[in-house]
């Protein structure tokens, strides 16, 4: 039986979303602007010259950028050897759960709850709930912030008081940072798990545990992050495949994003390099008829939010080599689908995600233009390839 590998390059958008202006993201184009910066010599830290993605561009990446946004991205002009297109999201968000659920066939049917850009950002009732669950007399932060900056700002006070550091972002998310040793890692995870149902009930998408270590002036986040996400509102591609008796491998945050629903095995790692090792191992050994669903988050977390153009380019070029290894190991009948869940243009103002179309590149079925499609069409297409019933609104774009 054929297998399918769905790889989400977190935040690797390609511009052109028709509703970008409504999100404050008019003109955003993650891939296009990175390619332009590289060609202009503005991303030469740790690398040099035009953006080099021979494998992904060979599948049709440059063509997808042009289709999505009208931009002829410098250095990405190969003649496509795979199926290629650009997908548009309909869910009213530009966040991880919205993008992944819709790629898996289920658009978000509600408006997410977002916290206001004010201090305090959280209501007195919510703050009291956190204090009650944490057993503390207060919280720190209570604002919009980046994860590294807020730990540097409040880490020492956290060690003195024992109060958790609570913050949010432009996403529908409540994040809690705490010292693994002084506060306790298990205690932090339990606090987030206990708080999550209360926030899910008001349509906050995720509660995220953000542990760190170190001392004042030298705090570092650890790899023991854990996401407590609201469950999808309907069965997704993962459920369709597992419900047909097939195996579903979730690599990276996938099990967290889908609250474990439909996931047979979850494969975690300390970084994207470790996740790519899992991905290549599964290309070699995953079961016939299985789905491997992978999220690689560092494009977003390490380079998109900090607005690091050169770092983003380096990460793309590193993954292109991994994609080449994947394609060389696929079995006859397998497909590999490379796409993204939203944008995070590192040349844009601020530090938030950007509303964009995303590339859809398919290896294993020859060359051809998919054209414009919906996120949900990715799920319908993979279901068709695996021979399992699709229950969502998408339509397959496979030949």
- Render pLDDT for 240-298 as a digit per residue (tens, 0 to 9): 999 999 999 999 999 999 999 999 999 999 999 999 999 999 999 999 999 999 999 99
Q: Is 272 annotated as a binding residue?
A: no
Q: Is residue 396 assigned to a domain?
A: no
Q: Is residue 204 assigned to a domain?
A: yes
Token pair recorded at residue 163 = 């109060």
Length of the chain (residues): 399
| 8 A C-beta contact, residue 226 and residue 192 | yes
Q: Is 341 annotated as a binding residue?
A: yes
**Mapped to the 3 state alphabet, what secondary structure does the chain carry?**
CCCEEEEEECCCCCCCCCCHHHHCCCCCCHHHHHHHHHHCCCCCCCCCCCCCCHHHHHHCHHHHHHHHHCCCCCCCCCCCCCEEEEEECCCCCCCHHHHHHHHCCCCCCCCCCCCCCCCCCCCHHHHHHHHHHHCCCCCEEEEECCHHHHHHHHHHHHHHHCCCEEEECCCCEEEEEEEHHHHHHHHHHHHHHHHHHHHHCCCCCEEEEEEEECCCCCCEECCCCEEEECCCCCCCHHHHHHHCCCCEEEECCHHHHCCCCCCCEEECCCCHHHHHHHHHHHHHHCCCCCEEEEEECHHHHHHHCCCCHHHHHHHHHHHHHHHHHHHHHCCCCCEEEEECCCECCCCCCCCCCECCCEEEEEECCCCEEEEEEEHHHHHHHHHHHHCCCCCCCCCCCCC
Q: Is residue 88 assigned to a domain?
A: yes
Q: Is residue 116 assigned to a domain?
A: no
Same domain, 284 and 355: yes
Counted domains in the chain: 2
Same domain, 166 and 277: no
Q: Is 239 annotated as a binding residue?
A: no
Q: Which domain holds residue 102?
A: 4-109+233-386
CATH code for position 188:
3.30.70.1250
Q: Which of residues 177, 203, 229 is at a domain's end?
A: 229
Q: Say what the pLDDT of residue 359 is.
A: 98
d(CA 221, CA 147): 9
Same domain, 55 and 90: yes
Same domain, 13 and 102: yes
Same domain, 241 and 105: yes
Same domain, 216 and 242: no
Q: Is residue 114 assigned to a domain?
A: no
pLDDT band at 146 (very low <50, low <70, confident <90, very high): confident
Same domain, 136 and 218: yes
| 8 A C-beta contact, residue 199 and residue 131 | no
Same domain, 160 and 254: no
Q: Is residue 399 assigned to a domain?
A: no
Same domain, 237 and 252: yes
Crossing angle of helices 185-200 and 124-134, in 10° steps, is 140
Same domain, 131 and 161: yes
d(CA 54, CA 60): 10
Same domain, 101 and 243: yes
Q: Which of residues 176, 202, 229 is at a domain's end?
A: 229
Q: Which of residues 211, 229, 247 is at a domain's end?
A: 229
The model's pLDDT over 114-133, given as tens digits with 9 standing for 90+, comes to 999 999 999 999 999 999 99
CATH code for position 24:
3.40.720.10
Q: Say what the pLDDT of residue 158 is.
A: 98
Q: Is 72 annotated as a binding residue?
A: no
Token pair recorded at residue 376 = 């949900």
The model's pLDDT over 339-369, given as tens digits with 9 standing for 90+, comes to 999 999 999 998 899 999 999 999 999 999 9
pLDDT band at 171 (very low <50, low <70, confident <90, very high): confident
Q: Is residue 118 assigned to a domain?
A: no
**Stated pTM of the model:** 0.93
The chain-wide mean pLDDT, for the chain, equals: 97
Q: Is residue 398 assigned to a domain?
A: no
With a cut of 90, say whether residue 76 has pLDDT above it.
yes
Same domain, 191 and 47: no
């Amino acid at each position: 039986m054929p297998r399918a590998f769905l790889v989400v390059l977190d935040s690797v958008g390609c511009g052109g979303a028709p509703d970008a202006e409504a999100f404050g993201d008019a003109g955003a184009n993650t891939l296009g602007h990175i390619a332009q910066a590289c060609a202009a010599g503005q991303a030469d830290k740790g690398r040099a010259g035009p953006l080099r993605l021979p494998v992904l561009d060979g599948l049709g990446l440059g063509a997808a950028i042009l289709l999505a946004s009208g931009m002829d991205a410098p250095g990405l002009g190969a003649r496509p050897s795979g199926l290629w297109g650009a997908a548009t999201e309909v869910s009213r968000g530009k966040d991880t759960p919205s993008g992944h659920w819709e790629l898996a066939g289920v658009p978000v049917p509600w408006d997410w709850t977002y916290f206001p850009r004010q201090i305090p950002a959280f209501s007195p009732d919510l703050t009291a709930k956190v204090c009650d669950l944490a057993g503390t007399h207060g919280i720190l932060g209570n604002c919009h912030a980046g994860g590294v900056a807020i730990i540097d700002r409040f880490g020492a006070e956290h060690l003195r008081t024992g109060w958790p550091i609570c913050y949010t972002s432009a996403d529908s998310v409540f994040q809690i940072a705490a010292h693994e040793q002084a506060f306790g890692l298990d205690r932090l995870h339990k606090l987030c798990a206990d708080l999550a149902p209360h926030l899910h009930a008001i349509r906050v998408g995720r509660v995220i545990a953000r542990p760190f270590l170190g001392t004042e002036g030298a705090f570092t986040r650890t790899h023991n992050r854990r996401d407590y996400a609201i469950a999808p509102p309907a069965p997704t591609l993962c459920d369709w495949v597992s419900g047909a008796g097939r195996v579903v491998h979730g690599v990276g945050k996938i099990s967290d994003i889908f609250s474990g629903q439909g996931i047979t095995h979850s494969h975690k790692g300390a970084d994207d390099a470790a996740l790519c090792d899992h991905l290549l191992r599964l290309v070699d050994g995953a079961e016939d008829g299985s789905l491997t669903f992978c999220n690689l988050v560092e494009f977003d977390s390490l380079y998109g939010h900090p607005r690091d153009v050169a770092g983003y380019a380096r990460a793309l070029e590193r993954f292109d080599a991994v994609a080449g290894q994947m394609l060389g190991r696929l079995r006859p009948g397998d497909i590999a689908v490379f796409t993204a869940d939203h944008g995070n243009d590192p040349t844009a103002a601020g530090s938030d995600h950007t509303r964009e179309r995303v590339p859809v590149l398919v290896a294993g079925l020859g060359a051809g233009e998919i054209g414009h499609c919906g996120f949900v069409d990715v799920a319908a297409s993979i279901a068709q390839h695996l021979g399992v019933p699709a229950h969502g609104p998408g339509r397959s774009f496979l030949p």
